[in-house]
Structure 1
C-alpha cells in the first residue's frame, strides 16, 4: 500500500507540474542507422501566435558515434505544406579537441537539447510540421538513436 502511494505521489509531481512545452516528441532511428532518405516529421499545433516560443532539437546518440558534430537540415512548413523556412544547422556533440561528449550521458548514451529558434513567433495559429534530415552525407549515419523536437512557450505561467 505504501508503495502504491509513493508511485501516485511521484506521478502527481511529474505530471501535475505545468511545463513550458507545448510539444515534445522523439522518433527512434531504426538500428541506430540514420539513412538520408529517412527524414522524420513532427507536427504540432500552435494555438496562440502572439506569444513567443523556443524550439529545440532533441537528439540521442551512442558514444560510438564517429564524429564530433552533426549537420541537420530542418524544414518548417505550415498546415498547407508551404515551406516557411529551411536551414542547415551544425550540432556539436563532442568537444572537437578532447572528444569529451556533450549532453547528458548515462553509460554509452548521450541526450542533447539544442536551441533552434529563440523567441520565435509563428505567423498564425494552426498546425506546423518540422522535418529533419541528416546532412552528413554518410548513408547510413551510424549511432544516432533518436531525433526529435521540443516547442516551449517562453512566457509560461505555471
Structure 2
C-alpha cells in the first residue's frame, strides 16, 4: 500500500513537471490604477530584456477591474519600442472583456475580475530591451473601476 502511494505521488510530481515545461512565465508586471479611475494620460510602461532568440513568445494584457466596470470591452493603444528601433510602434486594440452568453471572460474572486488577453500570437523576438506602454482610449475618461493594468510575457519552446 505504501509503495502504491509513493508511486502515485511520484507520478503526480513528474506529471506536474512535464506540464509546466510547456510554458515559462518570463515576465509579468501590473501597476495600480490611481483611485481605480484610469485617465487616458496615465500610461503605464513596462520594460523587459529578451536574451533567448530561439524561443517563441506570447504577449498578454493583464487587466483587473471590479464588478462595477460598465463596459464589455476596452479600447487600448499599445506602444512598443524594440531593441535598436528609433520609432515606437502603435497598435490599437478593441479587447472583449464580456459576452452576453458567458458574462465576464475572466477569472474572478468576489467582485474582482482578472483578464489575461493575448495581444500577440507566438512570435520570435530579437535580443535586447523592449518597452511596452499602455493607454486606455475609451470615450469615458477617466475609465472608472479599473484596478490594475499590466503586461505578461510567456516563453514557449519551439
User: Same fold per TM (> 0.5)?
Assistant: yes
Q: 1:83 to 1:152 in 2, by over 3 A?
A: farther
User: 1:152: which partner in 2?
Assistant: 154
Task: Count the aligned residue pairs.
Answer: 139
Does the Cα contact within 8 Å between 2:46 and 2:131 map onto a contact in 1?
yes
Structure 1 position 76 matched with structure 2 position 41: no
How far the C-alpha of 1:23 sits from its partner, in A, is 0.8
Which of 139, 143, 146 is the aligned partner of 1:141? Answer: 143
Which of 114, 117, 136 is the aligned partner of 2:117? Answer: 114
- Distance (whole Å) between structure 2 residues aligned to residue 84 and residue 120 of structure 1: 18
How far the C-alpha of 1:81 sits from its partner, in A, is 6.1
RMSD: 2.1
Which of 101, 104, 109 is the aligned partner of 2:107? Answer: 104
User: 1:85: which partner in 2?
Assistant: 89
Q: TM-score, normalised by structure 1?
A: 0.80
User: 2:50: which partner in 1?
Assistant: 46
Q: TM-score, normalised by structure 2?
A: 0.80
Does the Cα contact within 8 Å between 2:97 and 2:105 map onto a contact in 1?
yes
- Distance (whole Å) between structure 1 residues aligned to residue 120 and residue 86 of structure 2: 19
How far the C-alpha of 1:120 sits from its partner, in A, is 1.6
- Distance (whole Å) between structure 1 residues aligned to residue 102 and residue 68 of structure 2: 11
SS in 2 for 1:139: coil
Q: Deviations over 1:4-46 (max 9, x none)?
A: xxxxxxxxx9xxx776111110011011100000010000000
> What does 1:13-52 align with in structure 2 at a 5 Å threshold?
20-52=24-56
